[in-house]
Amino acid sequence: MAVKIVTPLTDETVAQLKAGDDVRISGVIYTARDAAHKRLVNLIKEGEELPLDIRGQVIYYVGPTPAKPGKAIGSAGPTTSYRMDSYAPLLMEHGLKGMIGKGMRSRVVKDAMVKYKAVYFAAIGGAGALLAKSVKASELVAYEDLGPEAIMKLTVEDFPCVVVNDIYGNDLYEEGVRKYRIG
């Protein structure tokens, strides 16, 4: 049975999540990929205000396709997360609580998740059209010049994902390898 959570996330919410949990997210999540992450981190380093308050928020690593008439968003499948690894720790330090993408995270990012109480969720790659059905509304927030990689505010209902890395240092990918290793 899926764990239902609502954004923004709190320390109490992320403390309940464990690697391997099937989760359904409702509320607001934000989109951002590497170019947007670079801009956010540069703003932090320059002491400037961010175009969104990231405290308690979830960032989905996605560059959605244009919406068809009557739809909130086009296909919205996850992108490979490691491209955001050099930026994620600083964002977590400033309050980011969740990230959604696909693939493994670096040791530095996993350590930052433990230190700052954040979680990493995986969404199913190749299922962008299906994932888009959970998006009820979308709104441009910042960096329109980045096209599909602009930061967007998505209102989601029961967005499906799985906890890969939790605040306790657990990693679903590593556990899976151990569990099924032969010999």
User: 37 an active-site residue?
Assistant: yes
User: Is the separation of the CB atoms in 114 and 167 below 8 Å?
Assistant: yes
Residue 31: Cβ within 10 Å count? 26
Q: Which one of 29, 30, 34, 37 is the catalytic residue?
A: 37
**Catalytic residue numbers, as ranges:** 37
